[in-house]
């Protein structure tokens, strides 16, 4: 018994009920699925390869900035046109290649603050167009992040977009309370300490607003987590408070089906300990975002290659073995970019072990 036994689509991008079934199964078996930020076909490949070799499902996501990069850094992002085109291109690319890796893939978009809502409108329109043709949305899921706004505005606006997503049986992730650090130009480095821990009743307010629309949603509640890797400071990670959200919801829902009625998401996973991940997963975290560590891992392979092969890449022809020796096999991007894919893949493989995702297919 594994993930593929419970899904109607065993490999490739999954949508609709399959996404919920995957997260329910993850909660039941106590594992979380890493969400990898992808910015190019090369980083997609690194993630798919790690998941395939570890017999795991995987979540691939583009941030607004990552999506613009996917379209090309030279494209003007006026009205979010590069971010919209880039995440749609990533979606079609991932939909095309994922089946040959033989694993289920959740295709997601990351964050999206208030000022980026035109981006959200753009990809949701693409979902609706795709839905008309294929009976399913282009993306498995999206995230909306209005955590910098008031809770009322956050919850109401999220519910508004969730109604549109729910018509396509699409998953929606939202954030309430603040993840510290910086992401997509939204800087929370000086956020008030109390807002870095969401209260159980606040999380339940989200549940009350969204559950009548559809069961397909998850909440990124703040528990002292921070984007990026920072020196230990005065904000302490408290994944145990996620258990309080579940208890509170369990107590206040009529006839709850499970002890953990809420699907939770862990942002800012880079640099956390095994124990912290285990506590978070035990408390119903089904998705862990891992970006910063992957960025560094991708660099490592390329950096080491360039440093070690320096004398073979300074000129197209001529190296320590002879003045007329060709260097083509050293400077071909398939050789040195590949080294970055390998080290990024290795880092994701580690995450799949740490989150107990390995061998869950």
Closest distance of CB 360 from Zn ion, Å: 23
Residue 123: half-sphere exposure toward Cβ, Cα within 13 Å: 37
56 vs 109, which CB is nearer to Zn ion? 109
Of residues 49 and 173, the one with the C-beta less far from Zn ion? 173
Q: CB 148 → Zn ion: shortest distance, Å?
A: 13
Q: Are 36 and 59 in contact (CB under 8 A)?
A: yes
Length of the chain equals 361
CA distance 228 to 183: 9
Give me the least distance between CB of 185 and Zn ion, in Å please: 13
Phi, psi of 249 (to 5 degrees): -65, -45
Q: Which of 110, 184, 291, 293 is catalytic?
A: 110
> What is the C-alpha separation between 113 and 106, in angstroms, rounded?
21
Q: How far is the CB of 115 from Zn ion (least distance, A)?
A: 16
Which residues lie across from 197 on neighbouring strands?
223
**Minimum CB distance to Zn ion smaller for 267 or for 347:** 267
Sites of contact with Zn ion (CB under 5 A): 267
Q: Closest residue to Zn ion, Cβ-based?
A: 267
Q: Which two tokens stand for residue 233?
A: 């400071």
Q: How far is the CB of 166 from Zn ion (least distance, A)?
A: 23
Q: How many Cβ atoms sit within 10 Å of the Cβ of residue 97? A: 15
Known active-site residue 18? no
The smaller minimum CB distance to Zn ion, of residues 177 and 301, is found at 177
Lookup: tokens for 256: 């709850």
In 3D space, the residue among 231, 218, 244 whose CA is nearest the CA of residue 35 turns out to be 218
Decide if 358 contacts 56 (C-beta within 8 A). yes
Alpha-carbon distance values, 205 to 219, 248, 332 (Å): 11, 11, 54
Q: Which CB, 113 or 281, lies closer to Zn ion?
A: 113
Q: Which residues are known catalytic residues?
A: 110
């Amino acid at each position: 018994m594994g993930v593929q036994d419970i899904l109607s689509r065993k490999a490739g991008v999954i949508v609709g009920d399959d996404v919920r079934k995957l997260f329910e199964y993850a909660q039941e078996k106590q594992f979380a699925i890493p969400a990898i930020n992808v910015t190019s076909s090369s980083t997609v490949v690194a993630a798919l390869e790690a998941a395939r070799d570890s017999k795991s499902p995987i979540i691939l996501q583009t941030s607004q900035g990552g999506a613009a990069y996917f379209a090309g850094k030279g494209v003007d992002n006026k009205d979010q046109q590069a971010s919209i085109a880039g995440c749609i291109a990533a979606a079609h690319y991932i939909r095309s290649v994922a089946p040959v890796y033989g694993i289920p893939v959740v295709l997601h978009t990351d964050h999206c603050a208030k000022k980026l809502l035109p981006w959200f409108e753009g990809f949701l329109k693409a979902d609706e167009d795709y839905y008309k043709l294929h009976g399913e949305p282009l993306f498995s899921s999206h995230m909306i992040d209005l955590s910098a706004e008031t809770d009322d505005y956050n919850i109401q606006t999220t519910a508004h977009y969730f109604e549109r997503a729910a018509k396509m049986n699409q998953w929606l992730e939202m954030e309430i309370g603040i993840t510290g650090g910086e992401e997509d130009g939204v800087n929370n480095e000086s956020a008030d300490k109390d807002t870095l821990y969401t209260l159980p009743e606040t999380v339940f307010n989200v549940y009350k607003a969204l559950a009548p629309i559809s069961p397909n949603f998850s909440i990124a509640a703040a528990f002292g987590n921070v984007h990026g890797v920072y020196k230990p400071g005065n904000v302490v990670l408290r994944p145990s408070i996620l258990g309080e959200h579940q208890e509170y919801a369990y107590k206040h829902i009529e006839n709850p089906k499970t002890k953990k009625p809420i699907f939770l998401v862990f942002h800012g996973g880079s640099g956390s300990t095994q124990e912290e991940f285990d506590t978070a997963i035990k408390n119903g975290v089904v998705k862990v975002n891992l970006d910063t560590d992957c960025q560094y891992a991708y660099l490592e392979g390329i950096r080491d290659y360039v440093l070690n092969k320096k004398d073979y890449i300074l000129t197209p022809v001529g190296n320590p073995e002879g003045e007329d020796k060709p260097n083509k096999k050293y400077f071909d991007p398939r050789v040195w970019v590949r080294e970055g894919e390998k080290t990024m893949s290795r880092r994701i493989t580690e995450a799949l072990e740490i989150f107990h995702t390995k061998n869950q297919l």
